[in-house]
Structure 1
């Protein structure tokens, strides 16, 4: 969307592009701030994409230290700079990330088709300042955790997916079908079809699917690497996501039943046109109140 859509200084809202310029942010930084809930958006009354109200712009500008404070809140770093913020060697930082101690906020593929994980600098600073984390930053890694690492444990993709689903839930708004679509976007379409067996509900769900991440043409190495990250394959994670999806669809069905031909009952006797498969999605933190939250709890779940 062009930043020229809204031009008058007294307009009640403006486009994301214009808001990013007025807040001194790059567009990627602005989008991340929205995903994190640091910038609030409002629906466009004309039916377009999200807008930023002048009230929200004024609120952000009035904060102490603007714009540097806002810019720092959305600054991201890679492994090398992240290690410097935690004052640990890069190798130790990578181990902490693989153990799920620090959680990436984004990823991308570099020119060599290697996955590069990106972290919020603000989160890393808070992590380093917490005295409870001191044992993780120095000394020998506990033997149980070393064994997990030797077995190939890497929670970075899984933690990214969980965070990203949370981002999508916020971005797609409070519509229950949008919530369900956010969860479905990290599941294989076959898994989605097994959970959402009503074809009309699957068709309706597909209309809320988020924009997929695109790295390379279909079938390319880049596309395969992206799919490995954006789609869950660990059995216990898939199980939780399926349960989350079933619950979200049940709530959506109760509040806004999927449309179907008037002649069809709740259990259609004929198949509608095949719905668009739920795709993987882009660059999150869905709450999992019933799941172990501690580091050791998360790691123990993965042991046979």
Structure 2
């Protein structure tokens, strides 16, 4: 990217933090707005992360009811506030979420490493306003839902994965990126089964998105986040695997994964015997280019050969 292009980009766009302030949003609300597609971002070709065009900020600020309407669209609530919106007890709200009738938009781990699911307040208000849902909010829970709950059904992680997958796929620009996103929701054995070439797996890993929440590597928190991120049900695994295989075929056809070749290792003769009696050295460096041509012994090697000839004479 030329210097003039970078200058124009930074003159016509702002960083996410500044965009959030100009839109009267908290940073978490801004990020959720991007996640939901309510706020459009522009990639920074200089490698500095996404930016927001001035025109996009002007568009949002010009909408009627700004900033209250925009805030309402990105307002996420927990179980207590969600239950209040639906006018049901928190226990009933949790049951509705477990059977997939209300879908979480994000989650975090509290200090006790318990998963806290968050829901869009706007969606909950729409759910409550739909008269066809009235029987779910009052009276006895339908038998079909009771049997699912008794069997331990909890669709919150799966429904969140589906929603998060859609968000990540909207950010991709080519098949390798899409394949990396799909692979992020499958366990390593399933990915290895589909992508058996180690070079392709290494290339694919470049495009795997990180987890939405963080924990120290190997910690119970990190393991829990990884479990939420990874498909668990057989049918979910099957359709993700099928999508990954198809997307990978498209990626291979468009641009094969780069192959790395080990650099050649030149053996150096032993000063005592004029040859190497040691095991062959291992050079773990790799390069994309072809091995260099051999131009004959180096000056130091030629001097060694002369010393050996004089000694043998």
**Cα distance 1:262–1:241, how it changes in 2: closer, same or farther (>3 A)?**
same
Distance in structure 1 (CA, Å) of the matches to 2:181 and 2:223: 21
Tell me the CA shift for residue 205 of structure 1.
0.8
Partner of 2:21: 21
| Structure 1: gaps of 5 or more residues | 1-5, 264-271, 274-304
Counterparts of residues 116-195 of structure 1 (less than 5 Å): 116-171=116-171, 173-195=172-194
Compared CA separation, residues 47 and 219, structure 1 to 2 (3 A): closer
Look at both structures and tell me which one has the larger radius of gyration over its CA atoms. Answer: 2
CA distance in 1, matches of 2:212, 2:44: 24
Counterpart-to-counterpart distance in 2, 1:7 and 1:24: 26
In structure 2, how many angstroms separate the alpha carbons of the residues matched to 1:106 and 1:213?
A: 8
Alpha-carbon displacement from aligned partner over 1:42-88 (angstroms, at most 9, x marks no partner): 12243321111111011000001111111111000000110111111
Do the aligned residues in 1 keep the contact of 2:85 with 2:125 (CA within 8 Å)? yes
The 1-side partners of 2:190 and 2:33 are apart by: 32
Offset of residue 32 of structure 1? 0.9
CA distance in 2, matches of 1:167, 1:212: 13
User: Deviation at 1:144?
Assistant: 1.9
Equivalent position of 2:200 in the other structure: 201
Where does structure 2 lack aligned partners over 5 or more consecutive residues? 1-5, 263-283, 286-313
Q: Which moved more, 1:193-202 or 1:49-58?
A: 193-202
Alignment partner, residue 74 of structure 1: 74
When normalised by structure 1's length, the TM-score is: 0.79
Deviates more, 1:210-219 or 1:28-37: 210-219
Note closer, same or farther for the CA distance 1:127–1:7 as it changes in structure 2 (3 Å cut). farther
Query: Is contact 1:35-1:170 (8 Å) kept?
Result: no
Cα displacement string for residues 181-208 of structure 1 (whole angstroms, at most 9, x for unaligned residues): 1111111111111111222221211111
Q: What's the offset of the Cα at 1:226?
A: 1.6
Distance in 2 (alpha carbons) for counterparts of 1:90 and 1:193: 42
* 1:98 aligned onto 2:130: no
Greater relative contact order (Cα 8 A, min sep 6): structure 1 or 2? 1
Q: CA RMSD in A?
A: 2.3
Match of 2:275 in 1: none
Partner of 2:242: 243
User: Cα gap change, 1:102/1:17 in structure 2, threshold over 3 Å: closer, same or farther?
Assistant: same
CA distance 1:199–1:145, change in 2 (3 Å): same
In 2, Cα distance between the equivalents of 1:237 and 1:45? 35
Native 8 Å contact 2:108 2:213 kept in 1? no
Structure 1 residue 7 displacement after superposition: 12
Q: Distance in 2 between matches of 1:100 and 1:186?
A: 19
> How many positions carry a matched residue from both structures?
258
SS in 1 for 2:11: coil
- Cα deviation, residue 213, structure 1: 4.2
Structure 1 counterpart SS, 2:134: helix
Question: Could you tell me which residue of structure 1 aligns to residue 310 of structure 2?
Answer: none
Q: Which moved more, 1:216-225 or 1:121-130?
A: 216-225
Aligned residue in 2 for 1:297: none
Q: Is the 8 A contact 1:110 1:116 kept in 2?
A: yes
Structure 1 residues 37, 262: CA separation in 2 closer, same or farther (over 3 Å shift)? same
The residue that corresponds to 1:108 in the other structure is 108
8 A Cα contact 2:108 2:116, kept in partner: yes
**TM-score, reference length from structure 2:** 0.77
